[in-house]
């Protein structure tokens, strides 16, 4: 039996996020949203978009009543 590395590189993590294999924010670990070609985290407000332009994205508030 051989030893297999469990840690992935940043490139592998980004590819998994873009392809939809991962739903975890790389910054804070919360679930991400997919909005108009952008992967966005409502918790830490980080965005991942292809190309040079980031479209205007309004993220829902993470605050809850009660």
Angle 55-36-7 (CA atoms, 0-180°, nearest 5)? 95
Alpha helices, DSSP H only, in the chain? 10-19
CB 47 within 8 A of CB 39: yes
- pLDDT confidence of residue 4: 79
| Interval 20-52: pLDDT, tens | 888 999 999 999 988 877 888 888 888 888 776
Bigger pLDDT: 56 vs 29: 29
- The two three-digit tokens of residue 50, written as one number: 């292809």
- The two three-digit tokens of residue 26, written as one number: 């790389």
Which residues does 14 contact at the CB level (< 8 Å), separation at least 6? 26, 48
- Does residue 18 register a pLDDT over 60? yes
């Amino acid at each position: 039996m051989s030893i297999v590395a469990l840690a992935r590189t940043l490139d592998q993590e980004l590819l998994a996020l873009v392809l939809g294999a991962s739903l975890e924010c790389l910054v804070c670990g919360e679930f991400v949203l997919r909005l108009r070609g952008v992967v966005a985290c409502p918790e830490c407000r980080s965005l991942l978009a292809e190309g040079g332009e980031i479209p205007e994205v309004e993220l829902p508030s993470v605050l809850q009543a009660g």
